[in-house]
Amino acid sequence: MAAGAAEAAAAVVEVGSTRQFEELLRLTAKSLLVVHFWAPWAPQCAQMNDVMAELAKEHPQVSFVKLEAEAVPEVSEKYGISSVPTFLFFKNSQKIDRLDGAHAPELTKKVQRHASSGSFPPSGNEHPKEDLNLRLKKLTHAAPCMLFMKGTPQEPRCGFSKQMVEILHKHNIQFSSFDIFSDEEVRQGLKTYSNWPTYPQLYVSGELIGGLDIIKELEASDELDTICPKAPKLEERLKVLTNKASVMLFMKGNKQEAKCGFSKQILEILNSTGVEYETFDILEDEEVRQGLKTFSNWPTYPQLYVKGELVGGLDIVKVRSEFIWHPKDGKCWHV
């Protein structure tokens, strides 16, 4: 077992200089080369190194390399490495694909696909291109205001994306987002589709508004507020959310997976009563998480609402659960 692990680890070559990388690129020109740009301080990189070791065992014909991004800045800058982990795929000494983020299933799929192809992946005929354009059209129309960015609004993964999110939040603009690191096809295809080479990109009603510089100009000229849809005021939004279903539970996690012991206990109580209820995961929306505490004058979670009125938290529900649902007439009782 130990010998096998050592053999797998040995199959992943560690590169420590630009010269070593260029030499390796030349020597492996006729095969697939997968390079992991990593950092020792990022735990997700250590996990992906383990994934690389497993892939090296399964694909002995593929060369796997790990390169510490900050230790070899010349290579990182040449290939536009702005976050870790990032994976680059090379054939014939040329980059043919890229994957940003710790996505083990996607890394496995890309290795399998490129390892099985003879040379470069097919450029694609007109039909798949049309399919991509249709997909991009749907994505840009997915919400009245769509932001294509690096990372998420909660965790932007580049400074420009972070600034864009801050501006939109500052102006109370309601928007949805798409993490371009999650889909390389979208990341590359949208540049052609929009004729805009960089990210972030902001769309309103499916039309490109522009990148960060354009948004800053619109903000300075007071035009941004007239172009982008406003988010409803928090109090109005909370009122809608608490009335979304006759019984609404605001919790950490969801029906399928509670993410704290109190939320798990209240789910068990509600499930035992047979009551129909909906849930809202407060961990996915910090504004709601903080705002609902003031709205309800209740400082902790979970919180249970019946017909828009707060029942209470776990302790209250333990005492009063028999009044929440009437099994004979199937109606919620106002408590």
pLDDT tens by residue, 81-125? 888 899 999 988 888 889 988 888 889 888 888 887 644 444 444
Helix (H) or strand (E) holding 236: helix 234-242
Which single residue is written with the structure tokens 């004979």? 328
CA distances from 196 to 141, 264, 280 (A): 17, 46, 37
**Rounded CA separation 228/254 (Å):** 31
Tokens of 137: 């059209």
pLDDT score at 321 = 55
Please answer whether residues 72 and 88 qualify as being in contact, where contact means their C-beta atoms are separated by less than 8 angstroms.
no
Radius of gyration of the chain (CA): 25
**Rounded CA separation 233/230 (Å):** 9
* Beta bridge partners of residue 33, listed in sequence order: 63, 90
pLDDT of residue 333 exceeding 50: no
* Sheet with 309-312, edge to edge strand ranges: 278-281, 247-251, 303-306, 309-312
pTM: 0.41
Which single residue is written with the structure tokens 């694609």? 124
* Residue 311 buriedness (CB in 10 A; 0-12 / 13-18 / 19+): buried
**Rounded CA separation 132/127 (Å):** 9
* Sheet with 201-204, edge to edge strand ranges: 176-179, 145-149, 201-204, 207-210
Q: What's the distance, CA 20 to chain centroid?
A: 34
**Rounded CA separation 117/111 (Å):** 10
CA dihedral 7, 9, 21, 158 (to 10 degrees): 160
Enter the DSSP assignment of 323.
G
**Rounded CA separation 294/300 (Å):** 11
Q: Each residue of 178-220: pLDDT tens digit? A: 989 888 888 999 999 999 999 999 999 899 999 999 999 999 9
Tokens of 236: 């109005």
pLDDT score at 128 = 52
Q: What is the mean pLDDT of residues 213-232?
A: 88
